[in-house]
Amino acid sequence: MKTLIAGNWKMNGDNAFAMNLAKDVAKQAQELASSHAELLLCPPFVHLAFVAQVLEGTDVVLGAQDCSEAQKGAFTGDIAPNMLTDLGCAYVIVGHSERRTGHKETSEQVLKKAESAYQAGLKPIICIGETQSEKESGKTKDVLSEQIKDSLPRNAFPRNTVIAYEPVWAIGSGKTPSIEEISDIHDFIQETIRETLALHTEMRILYGGSVKPENAKEILALKNVHGALIGGASLKADSFIGIAKQVR
Ligand code: PGA
């Protein structure tokens, strides 16, 4: 299982920025000694086609930040998963906390989006994570357990699905849980998924929330951490590749 280093560009940059960043990442990826890392870029929808051209013939993979629950039809403003595969996407992020909070997406909707992604041959990266107040009131594991049960399709398995644990309070804040906490939570997530889906193999679980080159080594070395979902630090090729360099 390769370590997945995924860049979530969110709603940043213009077309020139996207193409330059993709070019820089692809170039630096060639020099990357580690063959253990799979690099993934998730630009805004409108830049996907251009970034796809830049990444053609490279080992860097393309993904999107969201998709529709539906395959086609009267859904103004939505993007169907097969539109994403058509552009060369292999992955799609679903249930990011910025969608769960800002767009009131429920775990049930996230599950439908993941199923919709499967239909188009896309691998969903299903995000889960507790808020600051849930953490403070000691509810982290209950929240994660509920999100796992409600957001994961029952036919999710390691080859078609990736999970991303992103504590909401750690996103873009510069704060991260301690290494012991990340380790404990990832073990808990792995175990809960195993029980929920009756799996015999390990699910790929990414950590996300203020990952940077300086803290990536310790985080990526943990047993049940199989990669990172990176926001801010993915907007510069140097820091994104700097994180990928920590993969051993
Ligand atoms: P961050 O974002 O790396 O800027 O904290 C992570 C994410 O939201 O995926």
Tens of pLDDT, residues 127-167: 999 999 999 999 999 999 999 999 999 999 999 999 999 99
Q: HSE of 144 in the Cβ direction (CA atoms, 13 Å)?
A: 24
Q: Give the binding-site residues of ligand 1, using a 6 Å CB cut-off.
A: 8, 166, 171-172, 208-211, 229-233
Give 73 Cα–ligand 1 centroid separation in angstroms.
32
> In whole angstroms, how far apart are CA 145 and each of 142, 179, 187?
5, 20, 12
User: Of 105, 166, 186, 226, which one is the catalytic site residue?
Assistant: 166
pTM of the model: 0.97
CA 231, CA 208: separation in Å to the nearest integer?
8
Nearest one of 235, 234, 238, 221 to 5, comparing CA atoms: 234
Give 53 Cα–ligand 1 centroid separation in angstroms.
25
Identify whether 166 is a catalytic site residue.
Answer: yes
Q: Whose C-alpha lies nearest to ligand 1, atom 7?
A: 231
The kind and range of the H/E element at 123 are: strand 123-128
Q: What is the pLDDT of residues 85-127, one digit of tens each?
A: 999 999 999 999 999 999 999 999 999 999 999 999 999 999 9
Angle, helices 15-30 vs 48-55, to 10°: value is 30
Q: Residue 235: is its pLDDT beyond 70?
A: yes
Task: Report strand pairing: 227-230 vs 204-208.
Answer: parallel
Place of tokens 């769960």: 100
User: Of 96, 98, 186, 226, which one is the catalytic site residue?
Assistant: 96
CA 28, CA 22: separation in Å to the nearest integer?
10
